[in-house]
Structure 1
Amino acid sequence: MTEPRTTGATVAATKKRPLWPWLLLAALIAALVLWWIIAEFTGDEDPNLDPGAETAIEETTGATEDVEGADSTDAAATTSPAVPTMAGLGVIMVGDLDVLTPNVDLTTSVGEPVEANTVQVQAVVADEAFFVGPEAGQTIMVRLQPFAGSDDPESPFEVETGDRVSFTGTLQQIDEEFLADLQLYDPAQQLEAGDSYVQATDITLAQ
């Protein structure tokens, strides 16, 4: 006779489903969310804009500025410091100094080039010398060419009081020898000779 079983029927073990499909789905959802966020923040940008275009523009601009800076440096290096600043109307310049400025100190500028633009003749004091400037106290003497004695010919340039002249020349110092060499020198009563004069090398009457 068969003995009865003391245990019940055995339940088969439950089969576990793999987790990887769920992990793949979660990763896909996360990727979609990330793409949506990026699209929201970058949606205003032009999709046809080349990302490297802005960088290229900045590099080109920088290169242009470098070239312009180099050109400016080269121009400054080749400019002679002895060339006077371009004079305006009624102005006489030696370097950066306006010769006609009251009480201007020209002692350190002797020997430097001078440029005058349409200045008025105040008085003719010798065959080859005259004062220019707007008024007494703002004048300087101009000499047309060196004269050593009465046998030298007169300057071919003729000037009268009230004329306006433009000229270039060199700033020189006035001394007793200079005044003695002037032909028919007749000092102007209201105009002082001062310490400096302009030895003109090129002069024209202003129209």
Structure 2
Amino acid sequence: MKHLFILAIAAMMLSSCAQNTQNQSVRKAATVKEAVAAKWEKTDIKDLTINPYSILNSDWMLLATGNKDDNNAMTIAWGGFGMLWGKPVVTVYVSTSRYTWDMLNKNPYFTVTAFPEDGREFLQYMGSKSKRDVKDKAAACGLHTEFTPDGHPIFAEANLAIECKKIYQQPLDSAAMPQEIFDQLYKDGRMGIHYMYIGEVENVFTK
């Protein structure tokens, strides 16, 4: 009986290790070069393991919207991943001062993409330029825009792409936020106000 118990524990540990290995290997491309050479694979969201804080706040992501005829992307560090109304969702925040804000209001879908560590220069450029001044920011910094099977923009240099359908949006209420935040970010009016967009995750692609 003791031997059976030990075998059962060992089997559980092996199963757990296999699951962890599977989750950790979902994003295999460790460099931009590897990502460009790899093909996108559709991934079950349940198999996706990310740190929701570092992937946004320190690693950054690209938020993109539009279609093959007209699209744009910007770097984001604010957002979240979770559940709403029983649906897996991604939440992003975009200022009314950004060109992407207007495009997001016109398009029902958006994507968020993550990059290998050596792709940070793309994110720095995409966050510092506006489509008002640079018509194709992606091409200007060396990014190659691709499209999901449903026609939404992602990038060849990325190793994670999450495709979302907007299900809710609203502006942040300046009267409800801490006074020091309002004074720091919004008081002079240059930033406009941030809108919150919540998108239901429809597809996850990894490399």
Q: Counting strand residues as a fraction of each chain, which structure ranks higher? A: 2
Which gives a bigger RCO, structure 1 or 2 (Cα 8 Å, sep 6+)?
2
Give the greater-gyration-radius structure (CA): 1
Q: TM-score, normalising length from structure 2? A: 0.30
TM-score by length of 1: 0.30
The structure in which a higher percent of residues are helix is 2
